[in-house]
Amino acid sequence: MSDIEIKNVIKLFTVLLLSEKEQHGYELMKKMEERTGKKISPGQIYPFLKQLKEHKYVDTEGREERDKLVYYLTPEGKRFVVRLSEKFGDLFEIAIKPKLTECAHCKCEIYKGGYKKKIGGRYLDFCCRNCANSYGKGNRH
Ligand SMILES: [Zn+2]
C-alpha cells in the first residue's frame, strides 16, 4: 500500500498531535485551532483520521460514535511519523513545537503577556518583572 500523502498543514498537525498523545477527534480540532489560530471543521479532521485508520496507522478505542472515539497511533503509524519527520525536517520541528517562549531567567514557560527587557542590546523575554531584574545576578525566584 502506498504511503499517505501529507499535503496540508492540517494533516501534518493531525499526525503530530497524535504522536504526542492519544486523543479524541474533538481534542485534536481544539488543539489545532489553538496552534494555527484558524477555525477547524470536523470535515478537515475526520475523513483524514478515517484514512489513517484504513492504512492502519491509527486505531481507535471507545464507542463507535465519532465524538467518543479516542485515536492513537499504531506502531506502523509511529514509523510513518518518523518517515515524515525525515521528509519535513526543520518544518516538522517548527510545526510540532508549541508556541511558547521561555523566561530567560527562570526558564519557565510564558503563555501570555510576559515581560520584555532590553539587555545587552537585545530584547529578552521574562515571565515577570522580578525575573527581568534578577537576570544575570544569579538568584532565581
Ligand atoms: Zn521567570
How far does Cα 130 stand from its chain's mean position?
30
Q: Which residue in 123, 100, 97 sits closest to 112, CA to CA?
A: 100
For the chain, the structural domain boundaries read 9-96, 101-134
| 117 Cα to the center of ligand 1, angstroms | 12
Q: How far is the CA of 104 from the centre of ligand 1 (A)?
A: 7
- Condensed to tens digits (0 to 9), the pLDDT of residues 76-128 reads 999 998 888 888 777 766 666 666 678 989 988 887 778 888 888 888 889 99
Q: Which residues 6+ apart lie within 8 Å of 46 measured at CB?
A: 25, 66
Q: How many angstroms separate the alpha carbon of residue 101 from the centre of ligand 1?
A: 11
Distance separating alpha carbons of residues 50 and 35, to the nearest angstrom: 22
Residues 6+ apart with CB under 8 A from 64: none
Q: How far is the CA of 120 from the centre of ligand 1 (A)?
A: 18
105 alpha carbon – ligand 1 mean position (Å):
5
Q: What is the CATH number of domain 9-96?
A: 1.10.10.10
C-alpha 121 – ligand 1 centre gap (Å): 20
- Quick one: average pLDDT of 51-60? 95
